[in-house]
Amino acid sequence: MVNLTINNKKVQVPEGTTILAAAAQVGIKIPTLCYLKEINEIASCRICVVEIEGKETLVASCNTVVEEGMVVYTNSYKAQHARRMNVQFILSEHDAHCTSCVKSGNCSLQTVANELNIGEVPFEEHYEVNEWPQDFPLIRNASKCIKCMRCVQICEKVQGLGIWDMINTGKRTSVGVSGRKKITESDCAVCGQCITHCPVGALYERDDIDPFMNAVHDPEKIVVVQIAPAVRAAWGEGLDLPREMATEKRLAAAVRALGVDYVFDTNFSADLTIMEEGNEFLERMTHADQYSWPMFTSCCPGWVRFVKSQYPDMTKNLSTAKSPQQMFGAVAKSYYAQILDVDPSRIFSVSIMPCVAKKHECEIPGMDDAGAGPDVDLSLTTRELDRVLKAELVSPAFLEEEEFDQPLGIGSGAGVIFGATGGVMEAALRTAYYVLNGKNPDPEMFKMVRGMDGIREAELEIAGIKIKAAIVNGLGNTRKLMEKIRSGEAEYHFVEVMACPGGCVGGGGQPITDGVELADVRRRNLYHLDKKNPLRFSHENPSVIKAYEDFFEKPLSHKSHELLHTDHEA
Ligand code: HC1
Ligand code: SF4
């Protein structure tokens, strides 16, 4: 252990601890803008500087390790003066039109500047302006960038893609797409992890609220909304709604209060996905020599973009089942239009997703199989949902809980866990067990696939059939696994991939609490919802059963192939 003094307080911490962490241990919160534990410890913002007795120069507390007998002052005149000046420098290069910034109220620069009582900026103000394709789902506004490098590091170290890089030199040093490419020409997976780790408003999703509300106000349009599994675990965070208030049913009430016509649940089509993908897997197992192995899940569009750009020869391994978002859209404009007895072109189908890549997915050519425009007309993130609720003066705390609409509002516990890493695998295994044994397993039987580890493996035997499965989350981990599969070091039958750490609960479209990773808390919430749902199996979802009886006939039928599957190689 190391003994030191911080602001006259005695502190004892393990060797190797940074001053920043040691100070936090005694309740001293040193501000920082760039620091991300183990990901970005480069002290580029220099807001965390502290004075050490006997040393001429100030040091950055985020990457300076404690030493025995060290005497540290976090708020000496010298440290405070430098800290305030560093913030003023950053502000002089930052477009501080806060009122119209997407991060206003949730911006770390704004918070630090306010907390340090910075009233004016004594330097000449000048900021970079960039051009950016406004129709791409991921937007970068250079005038807000503080060059903290978090986006560069997250994309490189966590997502293994390295889309961002430092560009230019000296005073003109900035962040841009590496190789000086346009973002549209890059291999960006649109996962949005750089957005959720941006401390300011330099990175954000394309805002689709206006076209959404225009559709709501159009009397000709029937607006049908689906809400993704992971949204229910996080939507309250952006509204300061306590977790016990932020229920699924209050979420349904809030979305209905926006004036939409029908509020449905993506869990319904997650169950439908299990029926299609599960049967596809069993069909592949039966004719094993006709397929490339392993079979990959296909519901995460960040992952699908990744495999297409990084491992194009393995695109054929993706399940042909569309994602629940896209299945829902196709169902809304076919089967549901038939139930309503309306022309499908009147249906405007909207998804609310914890994801930025879903905006890309609904625009993929061919995702219009119902023949009435895109099957999903637009996709909003959880953050956009929170923004539109505020803009439309909807106060969920004052709303009574309401049910989802029927019949597409019924989802099983297996459907809800899709939102957590390992959930798709577990849901599929529950149904595979039923199909192969003719009876349900204990729904908790496949618990071993749960967890937050980046790569997990499971070997199972169902009705005498051995299944080797892997579950991976985060694209950096995915690359490691893909390399092992390629080299023959690892062999699996079924692999679930989610691009974001923790799965959709940690999605790039979720509310942002800077410096706090909430994926695990949200994940536990989904398993709790699964456990309390009387329906635990996708194949028992009565709305799914009825959809097959009345419309699709059976999994993998001609109609199912037409509407619920896609050719990823097209
Ligand atoms: Fe997901 Fe999925 S789980 S991809 O994370 O398969 O976005 O929540 O909606 O489509 O169901 C996201 C979540 C989501 C799909 C489902
Ligand atoms: Fe990298 Fe994801 Fe950001 Fe694209 S969206 S630049 S892949 S972190």
3-state SS class at 461: strand
d(CA 493, CA 487) in angstroms, rounded, equals 16
- Is the shortest distance between the CB of 191 and ligand 2 below 6 Å? yes
- The pLDDT assigned to 443 comes to 97
Query: What is the 3-class SS of 499-527, one letter each residue?
Result: CCCCCHHHCCCCCCCCCCCCHHHHHHHHH
3-state SS class at 158: helix
- The pLDDT assigned to 282 comes to 93
pLDDT band at 98 (very low <50, low <70, confident <90, very high): very high
Q: Is the pLDDT of residue 570 over 90?
A: no
Q: Give the distance (Å) from ligand 2 centre to CA of residue 548.
A: 38
Between strands 71-73 and 59-60, the pairing is unpaired
Atom of ligand 1 nearest to the CA of 503: 5
- Pocket probe for ligand 2: among 193, 361, 381, the residue whose CB has the most ligand atoms within 8 Å is 193
Helix, strand, coil shares, percent, the chain, to 5:
40, 15, 45
Cα of 253 vs its chain's centroid, Å: 23
Q: Is the pLDDT of residue 493 over 80?
A: yes
- Is the shortest distance between the CB of 189 and ligand 2 below 6 Å? yes
pLDDT band at 363 (very low <50, low <70, confident <90, very high): very high
Q: Is the pLDDT of residue 171 over 80?
A: no
The CATH architecture assigned to 128-205 reads 2-Layer Sandwich (3.30)
Atom of ligand 1 nearest to the CA of 270: 11
Pair 434, 407: CB distance under 8 Å: no
- Is the shortest distance between the CB of 190 and ligand 2 below 6 Å? yes
CATH class entry, domain 2-92: alpha beta
Atom of ligand 2 nearest to the CA of 357: 5
The CATH architecture assigned to 211-564 reads 3-Layer(aba) Sandwich (3.40)
Pair of tokens at residue 61: 């507390």
- Is the shortest distance between the CB of 329 and ligand 1 below 6 Å? no
d(CA 216, CA 380) in angstroms, rounded, equals 14
Residue boundaries of the structural domains of the chain: 2-92, 128-205, 211-564
Q: Do domains 128-205 and 211-564 have the same CATH topology?
A: no
- The pLDDT assigned to 379 comes to 98
- The pLDDT assigned to 544 comes to 98
For residue range 502-544, list pLDDT tens digits in order.
999 999 999 999 999 999 999 999 999 999 999 999 999 999 9
- The angle subtended at Cα 191 by Cα 254 and Cα 378, nearest 5°, is 45
Q: Give the distance (Å) from ligand 1 centre to CA of residue 527.
A: 15
Mean pLDDT of 436-447: 95
**% of the chain at pLDDT higher than 70:** 100
Q: Which ligand is nearest to the CA of 155?
A: 2
| Cis check: omega of the bond before 229, within 30 degrees of 0 | no
Minimal-distance CA residue to ligand 2 atom 1: 155
Q: What is the CA radius of gyration of the chain?
A: 25
Instruction: Write the CB contacts of 28 (distance below 8 Å, at least 6 apart in sequence).
Output: 6, 7, 9, 74
Identify the H or E element spanning 88: helix 77-92
Which residue is listed with tokens 């061919």? 366
Atom of ligand 1 nearest to the CA of 228: 9
d(CA 224, CA 22) in angstroms, rounded, equals 51
ipTM of the complex: 0.92
Q: Is the pLDDT of residue 23 over 90?
A: yes
Pair 221, 344: CB distance under 8 Å: no
- The pLDDT assigned to 115 comes to 96
pLDDT band at 168 (very low <50, low <70, confident <90, very high): confident
Cα of 308 vs its chain's centroid, Å: 19
Give the sheet arrangement for strand 9-13, strand by strand: 9-13, 2-6, 71-73, 49-52, 59-60
**% of the chain at pLDDT higher than 90:** 98
For residue range 544-564, list pLDDT tens digits in order.
999 999 999 999 999 999 999
Q: Which ligand is nearest to the CA of 301?
A: 1
Mean pLDDT of 394-407: 98
